[in-house]
Amino acid sequence: MSRTNSVSRYLISSWAQTCGVGWSPTQIAFAYATSVVLTATVLTAAYANGLDWSWAQYIVAALLAWDLLLGVIGYSHSAIKRRRDQESSDLPIWHHNLQHIHPLILIYFDQPGLLLGVAAYWFVTFLLYVEFLEVIPATGQRRLSVPAQRWVIGIEVAVSLGLIGLSFVAANVTESFQIYGVAVYGGLVIATAVLIRTPAIFQRTIAVVALVTMTIASLFLSPPAGFEWLVPVYFLKLLVGFTAKEQAFGTKHQLSNLDGAASNDS
Is the predicted pLDDT of residue 236 greater than 90, yes or no? yes
Quick one: what percent of the chain has pLDDT higher than 70? Answer: 78
Taking only the tens place, the pLDDT of each residue in 8-62 is 777 777 777 777 778 888 888 899 999 999 999 999 999 999 888 888 889 889 9
* Residues counted in the chain: 266
d(CA 32, CA 11): 9
CA geometry: angle at 169 spanning 164 and 175, to 5°? 80
Spatial distance between the Cα atoms of 7 and 4, rounded to a whole number of angstroms: 5
Of 27 and 247, more confident? 27
* CA 151, chain centre distance (Å): 21
Q: Is the pLDDT of residue 262 over 60?
A: no
Nearest to 109 by CA among 187, 15, 46: 46
Give the number of other CB atoms < 10 A from CB of residue 60.
Answer: 25
What residues have CB less than 8 Å from 148, skipping those under 6 apart? Answer: none
Q: Which range has the worst mean pLDDT, 35-39, 95-99, 134-138?
A: 134-138
- Determine the Cα–Cα distance for residues 21 and 34; give it in Å rounded to an integer: 20
Residue type, position 175, single letter? E
* Helix ranges restricted to H, 143-174: 146-167
The answer for 168, left when phi > 0, alpha when psi is -120 to 50, beta otherwise, is alpha
Give yes or no for a contact between 68 and 241, defined as CB atoms under 8 angstroms apart.
no
Handedness of CA 223, 238, 118, 166 (dihedral sign): positive
Distance CA 211, CA 257 (A): 31
For the segment 182-192, what is each residue's pLDDT rounded down to a tens digit? Answer: 899 889 999 99
Residues 6+ apart with CB under 8 A from 230: 64, 68, 102, 103, 106, 184, 223
Count of C-beta atoms within a 10 Å radius of residue 199: 9
Distance CA(238)–CA(175), nearest Å, equals: 26
Model-level pTM? 0.79
pLDDT at position 130: 60
* Mean predicted confidence (pLDDT) in 66-92: 84
Name the maximum alpha-carbon separation found in the chain: 67
